[in-house]
Amino acid sequence: MKHFTAGALNEYCRKVMEAKGIDPECAAAVADMLIDADLTGVSTHGVSRLSIYMERVEKGLVAKGNEIRVLKESPSALAIDGGNTLGAMSASFAMERCIEKARETGACFATVKNSNHFGAAAFYTKKAAAAGMIGFCCTNLTAKIAPFGSSEPFMGTDPVCVAVPSEGMPVVLDMAPSVVALGKLILAQKLGQSIPEGWALDKDGRPTTDPAEGRKGSLVPIGGPKGSGIAMIVELLAGVLSGAGTATHLHDLYEFDAPQGVGHFMGAIDISHFIDVDVFRSGVSATSAEVKGLKKATGFNEILMPGERELRFAAERAEKGLDIPDEVCDELAALGAPYGLELKEA
């Protein structure tokens, strides 16, 4: 583990991207998203992703510049072509425009097509919450979940995220519609362990406890037809409404055959158009206090609101700094070395 301040790590990532010829605004959007993910403890979506993002840029599979174009614009709607720009840039642009427009009209939603992996969805919805709005965001990804009744993956582990402001930290629900992430199967297979029934189906759609069979099959959605339905709706919003296409037509982040082509759907709802923002904030905080005062279930010391654990981590790490595993530091250092950039602990 090496220790960094969030600011120093952010600056290093930005400088690496700029050295590689990436547009400074795009570099800043990606660095901000990666560092936010690490701060919240979602390290699978943090700086450990910089090297794959850069590999795709170098292979010409992701644009270096800001190629975003607004295709259609109405007072409360934006249809955006990401132009294969880095995902964090396209998604940040879309959410920031939604926030501006929702301030005027009360609500605004945007689609983005021809986009790339955008990292952690919560990064975008929290922008809305910080502006006193409710943020909504989802994206599609390559096919990993079979529709209820099928044994073939069709929908991605498409995250759905909503952020709601309070008097203190926002309430942030950021969930994939599968019981577990694919990473848990990969890890179990690496460790030679079996997986609990209920995580994955084999290629014939039967429950399996063998992670290798699960990887050949599909991930189980939460609540059977319910989680399957959530993933399907995301495909229709982020995939069909955007014009991006559904999951089976997308390309994987870790394969180098073509641009990913993923789609996003997101938006902001301005609270002040419905109710006094302070009344709303105190209502959310009061709800949170009521929830914390409920009887705890056996085995629980505390009841947490959605996203609370992650936001507490983030507050602590923003102050004390972050620890990054040596393997990730080596990768980061290798990215900057050719340009004389040095990754320094701080």
Site for a second copy in 26-85 (CB under 8 A): 72, 74-77, 79
CA dist 45 and 111 (Å) reads: 22
In terms of CB distance, is 3 or 72 closer to a second copy? 72
Q: Least distance to a second copy from the beta carbon of 33, Å?
A: 22
- Give the 3-state secondary structure of residue 261: coil
Comparing CA positions, the residue from 77, 28, 85, 82 lying closest to residue 56 is 85
In the region spanning residues 260 to 289, those forming contacts with a second copy, defined by CB under 8 A, are 267, 269-271, 273-275, 279-280, 283-284, 287
154 binds a second copy (CB under 8 A): yes
For 288-302, letters b (16+ CB in 10 Å) and e give beeeeeeeeeeeeee
In terms of CB distance, is 28 or 110 closer to a second copy? 110
Q: Is the separation of the CB atoms in 152 and 158 below 8 Å?
A: no
What character string, x for contact with a second copy (CB under 8 A) and - otherwise, covers 88-117?
Answer: --------------x-xxxxxx-x------
CB neighbour list of residue 306: distance below 8 Å, 6 or more residues apart: 171, 172, 173, 174
Q: Which of 151, 209, 210, 251 binds a second copy (CB under 8 A)?
A: 151
124 binds a second copy (CB under 8 A): no
Comparing CA positions, the residue from 183, 155, 173, 178 lying closest to residue 263 is 155
243 binds a second copy (CB under 8 A): yes
Q: Is the separation of the CB atoms in 13 and 47 below 8 Å?
A: yes
What character string, x for contact with a second copy (CB under 8 A) and - otherwise, covers 192-211?
Answer: ---------x--xxx-----
Q: Least distance to a second copy from the beta carbon of 271, Å?
A: 7
In terms of CB distance, is 65 or 106 closer to a second copy? 106
